[in-house]
């Protein structure tokens, strides 16, 4: 009886952790959408007012912001999936529920991270001539590579 109560309490704690992580993930996606909108509108206004060099700086700093958001998203996603994996191993029925729930949303799952990933592609469209901007472009590309590498946990899931 006591063991069952402990399992129920542990399940509640794990469920609360998963729910909180999902809230954080959705908050990060919402923030990414808002920031993308702000950067897009700002870019339209800055396009004619900044020099080519200044606008290149503006464009190449955007991926740094989104890479940081994406790393935070990935860390929360991995933690949530680890807790869900633990719950799956301990509680019967969880695997069936979680697996069938995730299966229905695979495409949606990819589409929801696009606001985080699309701005990371900006360095492919900016070819600066100034050395400092070239370095920033390479930093952006390195961050993109790290983001892609960090998504490897998605491939290792059963």
**Across 76-80, 83-87, 93-97, which has the greatest mean pLDDT?**
76-80
Looking at the structure of the chain, the number of domains it has is 1
Global confidence as pTM: 0.78
Question: Which residue is associated with the tokens 């950067």?
Answer: 39
pLDDT the model gives residue 97: 64
What is the domain extent for residue 70? 2-155
Average per-residue pLDDT for the chain = 84
pLDDT the model gives residue 112: 80
- For residue 157, pLDDT beyond 60: no
Of residues 76, 77, 93, 95, the one with CA closest to residue 85: 95
Question: Which residue is associated with the tokens 């697996």?
Answer: 99
| Span 62-84, pLDDT tens digits | 999 999 999 999 888 888 888 87
Contacts of 78 (CB under 8 A, 6+ apart): 153
Whole-number CA gyration radius for the chain: 20
Are the C-beta atoms of residues 66 and 120 closer than 8 Å to each other?
A: yes
| Span 36-66, pLDDT tens digits | 999 999 999 999 899 999 999 999 999 999 9
| Span 130-151, pLDDT tens digits | 999 999 999 999 999 998 888 7
| Span 24-39, pLDDT tens digits | 989 999 999 999 999 9
Are the C-beta atoms of residues 66 and 32 closer than 8 Å to each other?
A: yes
Whole-number Cα distances in Å, 38 to 5, 33, 35, 62, 114: 49, 9, 5, 11, 16
d(CA 88, CA 95): 5
Of residues 53 and 113, more confidently modeled: 53
pLDDT the model gives residue 56: 94
């Amino acid at each position: 009886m006591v063991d069952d109560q402990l399992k129920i309490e542990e399940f509640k704690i794990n469920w609360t952790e998963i729910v909180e992580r999902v809230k954080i993930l959705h908050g990060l996606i919402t923030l990414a959408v808002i920031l993308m909108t702000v950067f897009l509108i700002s870019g339209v206004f800055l396009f004619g007012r900044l020099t080519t060099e200044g606008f290149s700086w503006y464009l190449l700093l955007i991926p740094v912001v989104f890479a940081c958001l994406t790393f935070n998203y990935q860390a929360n996603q991995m933690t949530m999936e680890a807790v869900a994996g633990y719950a799956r191993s301990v509680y019967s029925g969880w695997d069936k529920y979680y697996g069938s729930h995730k299966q229905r949303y695979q495409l949606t799952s990819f589409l929801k991270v696009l606001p985080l990933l699309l701005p990371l592609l900006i360095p492919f469209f900016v070819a600066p001539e100034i050395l400092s901007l070239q370095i920033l472009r390479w930093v952006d590309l390195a961050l993109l590579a790290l983001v892609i590498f960090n998504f490897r946990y998605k491939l290792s899931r059963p």
